[in-house]
Amino acid sequence: MPQDPQGESPSRDQGRGGMDITEVRVYPVDDEKVKAFVSITLDHCFVARDLKVIKGARGLFVAMPRRKMRDGSYKDAAHPLNAEIRRLIENKVLDEYAHFVQRETKTKRPTAQGQPVGFPWIAGGIRSDGAKWWEGK
């Protein structure tokens, strides 16, 4: 990566390491605390899966993927090495989650029972207009 006159590498995104989060995918979860699972792509070449958007006492935050150890404790499977990169990841993920929630809210229509229906594959594949997605109607 080219260097600037002070000898520091320029960043392509807000992180000093020049890392760019090129894709964020949100997978909603119907849970009181865990709101979504998320996967992020770094520089179009590395994917980190199983990040979580969690509703805590002070609002939403992003938890890194972790795995259970033999002794029953948990260790992060992947994590940022500094606070700046953590903020970059958290801001991108929470922004995309907010956009997802906004889009989802706009697409919900009441059904005959008055319950909102989001995407076609929710509620057993029955679309909000009553058609079955596999029939193509």
Instruction: Give per-residue pLDDT as tens, 115-130.
Output: 444 444 333 444 445 5
Report in angstroms the alpha-carbon separations of 89 from 46, 55, 102: 14, 17, 20
pTM for the complete prediction?
0.64
pLDDT digits (tens, 9 = 90+) for 43-82: 999 999 999 999 999 999 999 999 999 999 999 998 999 9
Check residues 9 and 132 and name the one with the higher pLDDT: 132
The CA-CA-CA angle for residues 38, 41, 44, to 5°, reads: 160
Give the domain ranges of the chain: 21-109
Assigned fold of 21-109: Arylsulfatase, C-terminal domain (3.30.1120)
CA angle 83, 49, 20 (to 5 degrees): 50
